[in-house]
Homo-oligomer: A and B are copies of this chain.
Amino acid sequence: MVRNIKLVLEYDGSTFFGFQRQPSQPTVQEALEKALSSFFDRKIKIAAASGRTDTGVHAEGQVVNFKTTSGRNIRQIQKGLNALLPAPVVVKEIKEVPLDFHARYNVKSKVYEYRIWNHPCRSPLLAKRVFHVPYSLNVAWMRQAAKYFLGKRDFRSFTSISAMKKERSCVRTIRQFRIKKQGHLLIFHVEADGFLYHMIRNMVGTLMEVGRSKRKPEEIKAILQSKDRRLAGMTAPSKGLTLLRVTY
């Protein structure tokens, strides 16, 4: 009997060349499929909610699924995989799901967090998970600007031109875009039905320019309308980004 198993993964993106399999580079998918294939003693392929996340992007709640005919108990599978996986990846949750569940196609929404360390000095203890911005930022302006991202919009100005060409549609719906201040940490909390390639990093990079008073908050509206990548700002570095959770 075929079973469909859903896993929730946490990983430290700094030790992988992104999620998706690549020839001759360590990736999360490769590590996971290797552990699965070794545990079940046959080749296993996974589907992932966010299969195209970049080198350096972390996850607290990446979701994948795979099929197996094994009758092994779900707890045994989790324990076995965690023993086989390298230390920077872990299976946090495991669940048997209906056969038609697909980690990528059934996504309702994804939540990402982008973290900026806004202090004149770097923070060695946070270094791997934050983008260090040493100058002061106008957070009120950034929050005002972020409001223009909310709702159903065409985000092609905020993806790469090559990625855009591969998409059927660049329309996405952003349900939440909050900017929280926790001491010297600035945390962007973004929820959408999906994201284009580099979309969050380009939105954050553009908001940074608003924060430095190089652009006005209203400019976001014009950039979205232009549908021109060249009008948006820089791509913020990947290490500040974490996939928090995926809902179905």
Contacts and interface: CB of A to CB of B under 8 A. Distances in A.
Interface string A18-62: 000000000000000000000000000000000000000010100
Contacts of A110: none
A92 interface: yes
A109 interface: no
Interface in A117-171: 121-125, 127, 129
A29 B242 CA distance: 34
A191 interface: no
Nearest to A127: B87
Interface string A82-113: 10000111111000000000000000000000
Contacts of A58: 125
Q: Is the interface of A mostly helix, strand, loop or mixed?
A: mixed
A90 B124 contact: yes
Interface residues of A, number: 21
A125 B121 contact: no
A60 B122 contact: no
A188 interface: no
Contact of A124 (B88, B123, B125): B88
Contact of A12 (B10, B127, B129, B242): B127
Given A12-B127, A127-B12, A90 B122 contact: yes
Contact of A121 (B12, B90, B121): B90
B87 A122 contact: yes
Nearest to A12: B124
A195 interface: no
Nearest to A88: B124
8 nearest A-B residue pairs (beta carbon): A12-B124, A88-B124, A90-B121, A90-B122, A92-B121, A11-B124, A10-B124, A12-B125
